[in-house]
Amino acid sequence: MNEIIKEIEKLKKKKNAVILAHYYVNDEVQAIADYIGDSYYLAKLAKSTDADTIVFCGVSFMGESAKILNPEKTVLMPDMSADCPMAHMADIERIEEMREKYDDLAVVCYINSTAELKCHSDVCVTSSNAVKIVKSLPNKNIFFIPDENLGRHVAKQVPEKNVILNNGFCHVHVSITADNVRAIKEKYPSALVLAHPECKEETLKLADYIGSTSGIIDYATASDNEEFIICTESGVGYELREKNPNKKFYFAGTKHFCPNMKLNTLEKVCHVLKTGENAVEISEEKRLKALAPLDRMLETAK
């Protein structure tokens, strides 16, 4: 075993630590993680683990959510600058404006958001539970923040609600165009198109399946088809290939890399385990406000 992996294993035992990794991080980090998964799975795990320390290989909103759900644990981020630009793409003034305008409004906040935005929201969602949660809300009017594309995808499946969209987006997913998909489809006509709902509407229209990172992996694994065009970040390729060594996966687009997720490296995992640096901190007042919509998500999505 490589020296750094041995060191990580040793430190993990010593500190009773667990390593959680999102499917978008580098292959070698996914390979040493105790758990890999989509945002919903990782949030549930963060709440239920009995480890003393969680090393969260992902981006800030994930580490922050883990800390909000589990304040007595130490949550370490291998790189504190790994942030999701979309998490900041909504503003409090607009939320307040919407609350003024509609008396029957629920602010539905994609988990890819800052703790500050969560504090002003009624319920959180992830891409794997958004439709179920929005459907279950008693409110007619839904302000969906920050992602416009996920919001539109949800709105289509919940026609009984008035879903108001916000103009946030993920630069990685919007870079995957319909033309990119068509070009691959021309070469591999029997390939099925699997897309993440953060992609643009024109790209989603070409999809045979739309779902979260876990949804995409599970769909490809259960399918008898042998070829797939994947419309999401390249990191899911690791688990897709692990589970399906004989199937072929073609990634659409040329910019399907999330630079923030890729900041997580084995060296940084080892460093934070050794030093305890990069612990996520959040004031108790803010934590309690942001906890309410996260708890409501976990309760409703069960």
Q: Considering just the CA atoms, what is the radius of gyration of the chain in Å? A: 19
Within 13 Å, how many C-alpha atoms sit on residue 181's CB side? 26
| Cβ 221 vs Cβ 246: under 8 Å | no
The 128-147 contact track toward ligand 13P, x by CB under 6 A, reads x-------------------
- Is residue 20 a contact point for ligand SF4 (CB under 6 A)? no
Alpha helices for 209-280 (secondary structure H): 213-222, 236-243, 266-275
Residue 144 contacts which entry, ligand SF4, ligand 13P, none (Cβ below 5-8 A, type-dependent): none
Secondary structure class of 261 (helix, strand, coil)? helix
Instruction: Report in angstroms how near the CB of residue 273 gets to ligand SF4 at its nearest.
Output: 23
Nearer to ligand 13P, 16 or 167 (CB): 167
Beta strand residue intervals within 16-104, DSSP E: 17-22, 35-37, 53-57, 74-76
Q: What are phi and psi of 109, to 5 degrees?
A: -115, 115
Binds ligand 13P by CB under 6 A, chosen from 53, 65, 113, 127: 127
CA 118 and chain centroid, separation:
15
Instruction: Report in angstroms how near the CB of residue 159 gets to ligand SF4 at its nearest.
Output: 26
Site for ligand 13P in 265-294 (CB under 6 A): none
- Among residues 153, 158, 49, 119, the alpha carbon closest in space to that of 37 is found at 49
- Is residue 170 a contact point for ligand SF4 (CB under 6 A)? yes
- Is residue 32 a contact point for ligand SF4 (CB under 6 A)? no
- Among residues 47, 1, 4, the alpha carbon closest in space to that of 20 is found at 47
Nearer to ligand 13P, 116 or 226 (CB): 116
- Is residue 77 a contact point for ligand SF4 (CB under 6 A)? no
Nearer to ligand SF4, 24 or 41 (CB): 24
Rounded-to-10 torsion of CA 225, 228, 232, 235: 90
Site for ligand 13P in 18-77 (CB under 6 A): 23, 38-40
Nearer to ligand SF4, 86 or 273 (CB): 86
The 175-214 contact track toward ligand SF4, x by CB under 6 A, reads -----------------------x----------------
- Is residue 112 a contact point for ligand 13P (CB under 6 A)? yes
Residue 39 contacts which entry, ligand SF4, ligand 13P, none (Cβ below 5-8 A, type-dependent): ligand 13P
Rounded-to-10 torsion of CA 34, 270, 213, 244: -70
Instruction: Report in angstroms how near the CB of residue 214 gets to ligand 13P at its nearest.
Output: 7
Instruction: Please name the residues in contact with 102: beta carbons below 8 A apart, sequence gap of 6 or more.
Output: 141
Binding residues for ligand SF4 (CB under 6 A): 24, 59, 84-86, 112, 170, 172, 198, 233, 258, 260-261
